DNA sequence: AGTATGGCTTGATATAAATCAAGAAATCAA
DNA sequence: TTGATTTCTTGATTTATATCAAGCCATACT
């Protein structure tokens, strides 16, 4: 089983005879550090798994740049509202490092539902899972201080803290780089 | 077309011959003010539309009560992770007023997929829509002040501000009742 | 090697929002 | 209606976090 098939299996629990059908629709793609996967306002017509590397999902407002999320190895990446509802992309997505992707084009993505009858049901579960992760994140903003959010997130993804420019982590957690730096220092052994 | 059918139509865009099949699976139910739709830790085995009234979705932590959302007429209500993944409910859901619901039991809900082949695809779109709403909410916490969140939310649901105890709105927006009260006063004409 | 450049740290200060506290208004119950 | 709760408002104070500013440390550049 290829790495891609393992990811699809673990996210969607597809049976192994279907796995190959799906994974054949993906192709490998590389994005160099600094290059863009997607620009705000464009239409997102693909969905990718990260084989290795990192992508930052952000948006530029009048005052500042807001990092919404950083995706790493094993994660999905797309602009869901653009892919699914054909709307202009909300997010800009840029590679923080040289990144290899398994990518499926929208047209092929839409074919999966015909190939595999239970696909939509599995996909629904996947998106529902993503939904609950966002619920957790909102909860963290309703009930935690900056330091608590730091610890909550660090517990979930400690690897990220060594690999990602800290200013982006700070933004993603809803605090300034200075505050992030101080908290980080305090929490270092 | 009944009110329930209109909701289902508008959320899912089901064709009219399927609408009745679906709506027949729902039954009406009433919850008195103060009564509970769901308790944290229990299993949520239903999904409801609000015909009228209001429900508050919240969780009690060691320090405080955190209101995650307030659902009103026309909205869906359930604990998604409990309904879909059969996990203990994260949220407690309580009626803020006498509330009439159209409710479908989990067992019937699961039947819809068999009745209507494209159901899972429609449901996926529905959850994806909910997902993007949560993305917006997270963005509001990453980039806005308390006052800006107040205005952002007020623009979306001005009706709520007259009907709901303000302390719950405050919690839902991630601020204290005092801060909410001051901002509200300032923004009153 | 030397010097830019961008990212991180640290300190001083300002500000938004929380907390504490008391009183006013609204809601509820008898 | 009246008193009893509960919720809301307002002011004073504290605290967390942002902002401003300077220096430091890496990495990249020539």
- B112 touches B12 (CB < 8 A): no
Task: Give the mean pLDDT of chain A.
Answer: 90
Each residue of B65-105: pLDDT tens digit?
Answer: 999 999 998 888 999 999 999 999 999 999 998 899 999 99
pLDDT of residue B128: 93
Burial-class residue A35 by CB neighbours within 10 Å (0-12, 13-18, 19+).
exposed
Look-up of token digits 């001005």: B158
- Checking if the pLDDT of A189 tops 70, the result is no
pLDDT of residue A142: 96
Task: Note whether B120 contacts A120, CB cutoff 8 Å.
Answer: yes
The Cα A56–Cα A171 span in angstroms is 11
Q: Which of B118, B128, B168, B174 to mutate to test the interface with A (most CBs of A within 10 A)?
A: B128
pLDDT of residue B161: 85
pLDDT of residue B189: 57
- Please tell me whether residue A53 adopts helix, strand or coil conformation: coil
The Å distance, CA of B7 to C1' of D8, is 35
pLDDT of residue A134: 95
pLDDT of residue A84: 92
Question: What six digits make up the tokens of B164?
Answer: 């709901």
Q: From the centroid of its chain, how far is CA B133?
A: 12
Look-up of token digits 């800009």: A92
Look-up of token digits 């959320």: B11
B163 contact partners, CB below 8 Å, separation of at least 6? B54, B72, B97
Choose among A179, A180, A154, A156: nearest CA to A166: A180
Does A189 contact B at CB distance below 8 Å? Answer: no
In chain B, which residues have their Cβ closer than 8 Å to the Cβ of A124? 84, 120, 123-124, 127
Task: Note whether A134 contacts B132, CB cutoff 8 Å.
Answer: no
pLDDT of residue A85: 93
In chain A, which residues have their Cβ closer than 8 Å to the Cβ of B171? 142
The Å distance, CA of A156 to C1' of D27, is 29
Each residue of A152-188: pLDDT tens digit?
Answer: 999 998 888 888 899 999 999 999 999 999 999 888 7
CB pairs under 8 A between A and B: 103
A119-123, A125-129, B179-183: range with lowest mean pLDDT: A119-123
% chain A with pLDDT above 70 = 99
- Please tell me whether residue A46 adopts helix, strand or coil conformation: strand
Each residue of A18-45: pLDDT tens digit?
Answer: 888 888 899 999 998 888 999 999 999 9
Mean pLDDT of B115-143: 91
Task: Note whether B174 contacts A123, CB cutoff 8 Å.
Answer: no
pLDDT of residue B12: 79
d(CA A128, nearest CA chain B) in Å: 7
| Bigger pLDDT: A1 vs A109 | A109
**Integer Rg of chain A from CA:** 18
Nucleotide nearest to B176 (CA to C1'): C18
pLDDT of residue B92: 94
The Cα A91–Cα A37 span in angstroms is 10
- A50 touches A95 (CB < 8 A): no
Task: Note whether B138 contacts A138, CB cutoff 8 Å.
Answer: yes
pLDDT of residue B117: 83
The Cα B174–Cα B171 span in angstroms is 5
pLDDT of residue B129: 92
| Bigger pLDDT: B152 vs B22 | B152
Task: Note whether A68 contacts B143, CB cutoff 8 Å.
Answer: no
Structural domains in chain A, sorted by start: 3-117 (2.60.120.10)
pLDDT of residue A11: 80
Flag residues 120-179 of B with CB < 7 Å from strand C: 145-147, 174-176, 178-179
Q: What is the 3-state secondary structure (H, E, C) of chain B?
A: CCHHHHHHHHHHCCCHHHHHHHHCCCEEEEECCCCEEECCCCCCCEEEEEEECEEEEEEECCCCEEEEEEEECCCEECCHHHHHHCCCCCCEEEECCCEEEEEEEHHHHHHHHHHCCCHHHHHHHHHHHHHHHHHHHHHHHHHCCHHHHHHHHHHHCCCHHHHCCHHHHHHHCCCCHHHHHHHHHHCCC
pLDDT of residue B14: 81
Contact between the CB of A135 and strand D at under 7 Å = no
Exposure string for B17-34, b = 16+ CB within 10 A, e = fewer:
ebbeebbebbeeeebeee
- Checking if the pLDDT of B118 tops 60, the result is yes
The Cα B125–Cα A25 span in angstroms is 22
B171 closest CB neighbour out of A61, A142, A172: A142
d(CA B74, nearest CA chain A) in Å: 20
The Å distance, CA of A185 to C1' of C11, is 15
Each residue of B143-175: pLDDT tens digit?
Answer: 999 999 999 999 998 888 888 899 999 999 999
The nearest alpha carbon in chain B to A58 belongs to B139
């Amino acid at each position: 089983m290829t790495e891609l098939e393992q990811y699809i299996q673990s996210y969607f629990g597809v049976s192994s005879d279907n796995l190959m059908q799906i994974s054949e629709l993906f192709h490998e793609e590389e994005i160099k550090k600094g290059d863009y996967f997607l620009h705000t306002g464009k239409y997102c017509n693909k969905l990718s798994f990260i084989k290795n590397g990192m992508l930052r999902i952000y948006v530029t407002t009048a005052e500042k740049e807001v990092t919404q999320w950083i995706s790493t190895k094993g994660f999905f990446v797309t602009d869901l509202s653009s892919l699914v509802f054909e709307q202009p992309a909300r997010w800009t997505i840029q590679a923080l490092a040289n990144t290899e992707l398994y990518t499926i084009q929208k047209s092929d993505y839409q074919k999966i539902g015909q190939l595999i009858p239970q696909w939509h049901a599995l996909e629904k579960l996947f998106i529902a899972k993503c939904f609950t992760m966002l619920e957790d994140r909102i909860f963290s903003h309703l009930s935690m201080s900056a330091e608590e959010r730091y610890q909550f997130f660090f517990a979930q993804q400690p690897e990220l803290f060594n690999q990602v420019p800290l200013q982006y982590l700070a933004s993603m957690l809803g605090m300034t780089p200075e505050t992030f730096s101080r908290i980080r220092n305090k929490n270092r052994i």
